[in-house]
Every structure is written in C-alpha cells, then in structure tokens.
C-alpha cells in the first residue's frame, strides 16, 4: 500500500518521538531487563495504536470504538511522556552545565518521567470523564434594563460526542444543565465527531434540554468535518433553534434580549453559503433591545462581533488547552484561551468546553458547564 507523503512524514516523526522516549528513559530505569523490554513493547504498541485511532472511523462497530479508545488513551500517555522526557533532558543539561550532574540524578529523573506521566494520564482521565462542574460568570452590561438583570444563559460547548463520548455522558450533562433552570441554553458548537447515522442515538438527550426561552445551537468546525448539513437538520429535529447568521428576540418580563448566532469561523471552507457573518446576524433587528448576545464557536470572531455592535459573545473551541502543554499553543490561533475577556465594548466569554476531544484527558483545564448571568454595570 502506497501512503501519501504527508502521512509517511507524520508516521516517521511519531516513530522518532517514541524512539526518543525509549532511548532516553528505558536505560535510566533501575529495573530488570524484562521490565525494560515491556516498556519498549508498550512504545511500539503506542506507535501503532495512535494512528490507528485516527483512522478508526473506517472500521466496523464495535471495533472502531475499541481501537479509538485504545489509541486515544495511548496518545494521552504518550503526550505526557514526551513532554516530561524533553523537560528532563533540559534539566539534566542545565545540571551538567552547573556541575550538578550525577548518576543518581539520571536514575531519579528517569523514574520520575513515567511516574509523573502515569499520574497525569490517570488524573486527566478522571477529570475528563466526570460530569463537568458548573462555572458561575457574571457579565456587567452598561444600560442593562432592570428586567434583564439576572438573566441567565447555560452554556455548553465542545462536547464531541463520538468514539469515547456516548449517550450516558451527554445525558448527565443535560441533567446538570436542566438543574440550573436557566432562561436560555446555548450550545456553542463542536457537539459531535462523526456522522448522524452513527451518533444520532447518542445525541438524543439534547431533546430534553429545558429553559424558559428554549435552547439554541451554533455550528463548530467539527460539525463541518462530520457533515454539517445533516447535523443541522438533526439538531433542529431534536428541538433546538439553530442560528445560522441570524437572530431571535426574546421578550423577558417586559424587556427584549437579542440572541444571535453565527456559523463557524471556518465554515466557508466547507460551504461558501455558510460564511460566518455577525453583521448579517443582525439584519432586521429591532431598535432598542436591552442587550445583544452572540453565540460564535471560535473566539476569533470577536473583532467582527465588536464592530457589529454586540455586547457579549459566548464561545468555546479552545478547550482551555485541555491538557498541558497545549494551553501554550492556543494563542497561536485564538486571541484568548479561556475566561471572560474584553474587546472594546464587547465582552467575550470563552468556555473550556464541556467534553473533550481525542484523548480522554483534562489536566490543568477542567471541563465546564457555564452559567452566565447578565448584571447591571
């Protein structure tokens, strides 16, 4: 079988990184040769499983999910092993430079790498698989009508229903959201990783979402990887209002709140008619609404939302980095990693996400269900 050149390069890099870990760590471990051999075999298995998990969609069920689980678990552990091995080599080089290098330091740090990597993988697995905790966020809005003071939006984002996230996981999220008794629910994209025909039974709990003014959805980039048109129809069938560069006006105790939504920032690469446009989302909007809220999957929509005149943008996409060290790479693509930020007259809240993508691992970036409350400035 002839592999594309890009795939060959990626596999070569992956093999080299696994070999690097084995070369630097296994000889430093004060363990019997048989244990070192087992470690080497694990690295070989990891090298095979990681790319296999990425290609598992083409397999039949239940094998596809089993391979994905094994590969993603391996990827989570491998990531920590590689980062810690690299940091260990830097630390050893500094120690030698200052005359502090020793055999005991080599052995001690050699033991520390797999121990710390194992801890990060286990803690990250627990954090990823538990039900996301509720994060309370107050957003001060200048000139907010008294009737809208305390208006709440329950935001969930980046759940990634797919190989390792199924019906039960989403069901627990829906229960937690409904318990908040919010005025509106916002699902800010990346709901799925896979086709409707495979995942529809697992997204069914969304039909139970409850809020005074209903539940609203905007597309994320992963919807476009997974067949956006089919998913838009399916989410509508489940009873959520899909906002495609459009808005609704919610009448709340005598005041009006404009809630708009845009397609994903990159949607036009998949369908030119889906180009994200905050200005278009405001077409036909009435004068005098109390506040304008935009749902936009990616934070980098913010400059366009600010120019359009929105007061608040709710986003996701970043996962807060999900686990170290990827939080340091998010700013290469997005203006912010997580939390409440300010751009001119626009507030932007970036959720760390309610699920996870790829490895079932969250370390230093806990998942969240966000309860956003509008308050008078």
pLDDT in tens, 10-55: 999 999 999 999 999 999 999 999 999 999 999 999 999 999 998 8
Angstrom distances, CA of residue 217 to CA of 8, 14, 188, 245, 295: 38, 37, 6, 11, 8
Q: What is the pLDDT of residue 3?
A: 64
Q: Assess whether pLDDT exceeds 70 at residue 68.
A: yes
Average pLDDT, the chain: 96
- Helix, strand, or coil here: 122? helix
Name the nearest CA neighbour of 181 among 371, 368, 315, 351.
371
In the structure encoding, which two tokens stand for residue 186, read together? 């916002």
Task: State the average pLDDT over residues 205-215.
Answer: 98
Of the candidate ranges 35-44, 58-67, 115-124, 201-210, the one whose mean pLDDT is the lowest: 58-67
Q: What is the pLDDT of residue 83?
A: 96
Domain 133-376, what architecture?
A: 4-Layer Sandwich (3.60)
The domain ranges of the chain are: 5-129, 133-376
Per-residue pLDDT reduced to its tens digit, 123-171: 999 999 999 999 999 999 999 999 999 999 999 999 999 999 999 999 9
What percent of the chain clears pLDDT 90, i.e. is strictly above it?
92
Q: How far apart are CA 147 and CA 149, in angstroms?
A: 6
How many CB atoms neighbour CB 89 within 10 A? 13
Q: What is the pLDDT of residue 367?
A: 98
Q: Assess whether pLDDT exceeds 80 at residue 2.
A: no
Task: State the average pLDDT over residues 216-234.
Answer: 98
Q: How far apart are CA 201 and CA 166, in angstroms?
A: 9
Q: Assess whether pLDDT exceeds 80 at residue 117.
A: yes
Angstrom distances, CA of residue 155 to CA of 30, 189, 218, 359: 49, 10, 12, 23
Mode of pairing for the β-strands spanning 368-376 and 152-156: antiparallel
In the structure encoding, which two tokens stand for residue 257, read together? 């709140």
Q: Assess whether pLDDT exceeds 60 at residue 1.
A: no
Q: Assess whether pLDDT exceeds 80 at residue 205.
A: yes
Q: What is the pLDDT of residue 5?
A: 81
Q: Predicted confidence band at 58 (pLDDT cuts at 50, 70, 90)?
A: confident
Considering Cα of 89, then 91, then 96, then 100, what sign does the dihedral take?
Answer: negative
The answer to whether the beta carbons of residues 280 and 289 sit under 8 Å apart is: no
Q: What is the pLDDT of residue 159?
A: 98
Task: State the average pLDDT over residues 256-269.
Answer: 98
């Amino acid at each position: 079988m002839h592999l594309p050149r890009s795939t060959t390069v990626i596999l070569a890099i992956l093999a080299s990184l696994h070999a690097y870990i084995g070369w630097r760590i296994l000889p430093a471990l004060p363990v019997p040769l048989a244990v070192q051999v087992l470690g080497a075999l694990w690295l070989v298995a990891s090298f095979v499983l990681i790319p296999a998990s990425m290609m598992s969609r083409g397999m039949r069920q239940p094998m596809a999910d089993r391979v994905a689980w094994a590969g993603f678990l391996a990827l989570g552990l491998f990531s920590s092993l590689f980062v810690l091995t690299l940091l260990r080599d830097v630390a050893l080089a500094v120690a030698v430079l200052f005359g502090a290098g020793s055999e005991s330091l080599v052995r001690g740090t050699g033991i520390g790498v797999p121990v710390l990597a194992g801890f990060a993988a286990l803690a990250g697995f627990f954090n990823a698989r538990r039900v996301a905790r509720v994060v309370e966020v107050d957003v001060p809005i200048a000139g907010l009508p008294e009737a809208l003071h305390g208006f709440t939006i329950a935001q969930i984002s980046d759940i990634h229903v797919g190989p390792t996230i199924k019906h039960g996981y989403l069901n627990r999220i829906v229960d937690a959201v409904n318990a908040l008794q919010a005025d509106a629910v916002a699902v800010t994209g990346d709901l799925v990783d896979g086709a409707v025909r495979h995942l529809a039974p697992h997204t069914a709990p969304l039909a139970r979402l409850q809020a005074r003014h209903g539940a609203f959805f905007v597309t994320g980039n992963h919807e476009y990887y997974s067949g956006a048109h089919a998913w838009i129809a399916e989410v509508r069938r489940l009873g959520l209002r899909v906002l495609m560069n459009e808005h609704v006006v919610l009448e709340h105790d005598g005041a009006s709140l404009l809630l708009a939504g845009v397609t994903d920032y990159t949607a036009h690469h998949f369908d030119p008619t889906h180009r994200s446009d905050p200005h278009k989302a405001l077409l036909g909007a009435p004068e005098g609404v109390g506040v304008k809220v935009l749902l936009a999957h990616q934070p980098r929509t913010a400059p366009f939302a600010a120019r359009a005149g929105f007061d608040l943008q709710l986003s996701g996409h970043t996962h807060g980095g999900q686990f170290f060290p990827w939080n340091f790479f998010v700013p290469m693509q997005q203006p912010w990693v997580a939390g409440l930020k300010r751009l001119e007259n626009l507030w932007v809240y970036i959720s760390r996400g309610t699920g996870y993508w790829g490895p079932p691992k969250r370390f230093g970036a806990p998942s969240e269900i966000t309860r956003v409350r509008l308050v008078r400035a």
